[in-house]
Each structure stands twice: as structure tokens, then as C-alpha cells.
């Protein structure tokens, strides 16, 4: 059971998001997961240049740490995205990773994996960012198991810190259990099927311009 976590805070594991993520990962490890964390504070991931190379050839034209992160996502059974709330959205570091996943998203290549999200905020608004990251994970093809959102001050008080980390650990354990059982989520089925169909239509429509993606869908017998 392999779990890949991506942390989008410039503060790394010492920051607020990193501490909540660590709680989730403790629960996942206890449930038997082998965990790898990619802290974007230590990685270089540039924004997407919209060159379409991934759609045309299956390879990104930018040379940085993204391919290593993508490979770790592909090799994982479970994925966790963790980001601070930056103005009602994810950090720019995390957004760069999401955008660079445009090719894999067209391929629906993460179908069957399980995923969860972690968000922390200074004041409020984590829910919106949790919903955004979970939606992104579903559009990649993952089943989303849940998310944990927190405000930084919850970590200062011993009582609320313990409660928060216990609930994060319980999400980590739930994620591993769902991945192990290959659990499906009927309430996600309609959105999932609609997005899969949308990507299939898109790739078929652009087959001349994006031969790699068309061939991927065709050779997988999905067209
Ligand atoms: C650029 C920037 C934008 C932020 N925007 C918000 C916001 O819209 N709402 C909020 O509640 N907190 C906001 N914050 C606060 C962070 O979300 C909060 O401190 C978070 O817990 C930091 O996590 P970290 O220590 O893992 O980096 C912002 C912080 C920064 C640096």
C-alpha cells in the first residue's frame, strides 16, 4: 500500500499544513501504508506553459521536478494533496502541480486510486479549498475519501490540537482502508462518468493535434 503526499506550503512539514498532514500520515502508516512526501518547498515545479507537448507526445517540455512527482503519484495506491488556503484557493506551488497534471487528467490515468486532501487557513475558508482539491482529484480519476480542514490557531491549544490530529489520523486510516478494499463511492459515480466521457470526447475530437492522447485511449480499448 503506497501513499504519495504532496505538500504545497513554503513552510514544509514544520508549517501548519505540514503538521496536520503529519497527523494524517501517522494514521496512514499505522494502517500499513508506505508513505512518501513531496514537499514543494524543496522542489522546483514551474507553471504550465500550455505548449501542448504532453497532449502531443506524452512528455512535458519543462525540465524540473514535476516528472518525479507525477511518477510517485502514478506508483501510489493513495494520494494526499495538502495546501494552505491562499486567497480562497491553493498555494501557487500546489497550483503549478495541478496544472502540470493536465495531460494525465486527459488520460484519466489515475482511475481507481484513492485520495484525500488537507487544507489549513489563517482565519476561515478551508472548506472551499478542500472542495476544490477533492474535485481536482476526482477529475484525475481518483475516488475521494475525505478531507481535513483546520485553522492555524487550532494547533496552539493542546485540546483542539489533539482533536485535530486524531481526526487527521483517522482520515489517513480511512484512506488506506478504502484503497485496500478498492472501495467505490456511488455518490461520486455520476460526476466521474461524466468527466470520463468529456475527456474521451475531447481526445477523440483533437486526435490530429494530440496523437499521443488519442493513441493512449485507443490502445487501452476505451474509444
Ligand atoms: C499569500 C497568502 C494568502 C493567504 N490567504 C488566506 C485566506 O484567504 N484566508 C485565510 O484564512 N488565510 C489565508 N492565509 C493564511 C494561511 O492560509 C495560513 O496561515 C495557513 O495555515 C498557512 O499554512 P502553512 O504554515 O502550512 O504555510 C494566507 C497566507 C498567505 C501567505
User: Within a domain: residue 211?
Assistant: no
User: If you average pLDDT over residues 151-167, what whole number do you get?
Assistant: 95
Starting at the edge strand that comes first in sequence, how are the strands of the sheet with 34-39 ordered? 34-39, 2-7, 78-84, 114-121, 143-151
All three cell numbers of 81, joined, read 494533496
Say if ligand 1 is within 6 A of residue 125 CB.
yes
221 within a domain of the structure (yes/no): no
Check pocket membership of 156 for ligand 1, CB cut-off 6 A. no
**What average pLDDT does range 175-186 have in this prediction?**
98
Q: Are 165 and 29 in contact (CB under 8 A)?
A: no
The mean per-residue pLDDT over the stretch 4-9 comes to: 98
Residue 155, domain member (yes or no)? yes
The alpha carbon of 122 and the centre of ligand 1 are apart by a number of angstroms equal to: 5
In a domain, 206, yes or no: no
- Determine the distance separating the centroid of ligand 1 and the alpha carbon of 40, expressed in angstroms: 16
49 in any annotated domain? yes
| pLDDT band at 16; cut points 50, 70, 90 | very high
pLDDT of residue 30: 98
Strand partners, 116: 80, 146
Percent over 70 (pLDDT), the chain:
100
Domain span at 94: 2-184
| Position 199 in a domain | no
**Is the C-beta atom of 108 inside 6 A of ligand 1?**
no
Whole-number Å distance, alpha carbon 87 to ligand 1 midpoint, is 7
pLDDT of residue 22: 98
Mutate to test the pocket of ligand 1, among 9, 17, 87 (most ligand atoms within 8 A of CB): 87
DSSP class of 210? -
On whether residue 74 sits in a domain, the answer given is: yes
Rounded average pLDDT over 82-102: 98
pTM (whole model) above 0.95: yes
Q: What is the whole-number distance in angstroms between the Cα of residue 220 and the centre of ligand 1?
A: 42
Rounded to a whole number, what is the distance in angstroms from the first to the last CA of the chain? Answer: 31
- Note the pLDDT of residue 33: 98
The CATH number linked to 73 is 3.40.50.360
The count of structural domains within the chain is 1
* Rounded distance between C-alpha atoms, residue 146 and residue 83, angstroms: 15
pLDDT confidence tier of residue 18, bands split at 50, 70 and 90: very high
pLDDT digits (tens, 9 = 90+) for 29-80: 999 999 999 999 999 999 999 999 999 999 999 999 999 999 999 999 999 9
Mean pLDDT of the chain: 97
Identify the three-state secondary structure at position 177: helix
Would you say residue 217 lies in a domain? no
Amino acid at each position: 500500500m503506497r501513499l504519495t503526499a504532496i505538500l504545497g506550503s513554503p513552510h514544509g512539514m514544520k508549517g501548519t499544513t505540514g503538521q496536520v498532514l503529519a497527523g494524517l500520515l501517522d494514521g496512514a502508516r499505522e494502517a500499513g501504508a508506505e508513505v512518501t512526501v513531496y514537499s514543494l518547498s524543496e522542489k522546483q515545479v514551474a507553471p504550465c506553459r500550455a505548449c501542448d507537448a504532453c497532449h502531443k507526445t506524452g512528455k512535458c517540455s519543462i525540465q524540473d521536478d514535476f516528472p518525479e512527482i507525477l511518477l510517485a503519484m502514478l506508483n501510489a495506491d493513495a494520494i494526499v494533496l495538502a495546501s494552505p488556503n491562499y486567497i480562497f484557493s491553493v498555494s501557487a506551488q500546489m497550483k503549478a502541480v495541478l496544472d502540470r497534471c493536465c495531460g494525465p487528467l486527459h488520460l484519466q490515468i489515475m482511475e481507481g486510486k484513492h485520495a484525500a486532501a488537507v487544507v489549513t487557513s489563517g482565519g476561515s475558508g478551508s472548506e472551499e479549498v478542500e472542495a476544490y482539491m477533492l474535485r481536482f482529484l476526482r477529475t484525475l480519476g481518483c475516488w475521494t475519501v475525505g478531507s481535513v480542514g483546520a485553522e492555524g490557531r487550532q494547533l496552539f491549544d493542546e485540546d483542539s490540537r489533539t482533536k485535530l490530529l486524531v481526526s487527521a489520523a483517522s482520515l489517513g486510516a480511512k484512506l488506506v482502508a478504502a484503497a485496500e478494499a478498492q472501495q467505490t463511492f456511488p455518490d461520486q459515480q455520476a460526476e466521474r462518468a461524466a468527466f470520463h466521457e468529456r475527456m474521451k470526447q475531447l481526445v477523440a475530437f483533437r486526435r490530429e493535434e494530440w496523437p499521443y492522447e488519442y493513441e493512449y485511449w485507443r490502445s487501452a480499448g476505451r474509444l
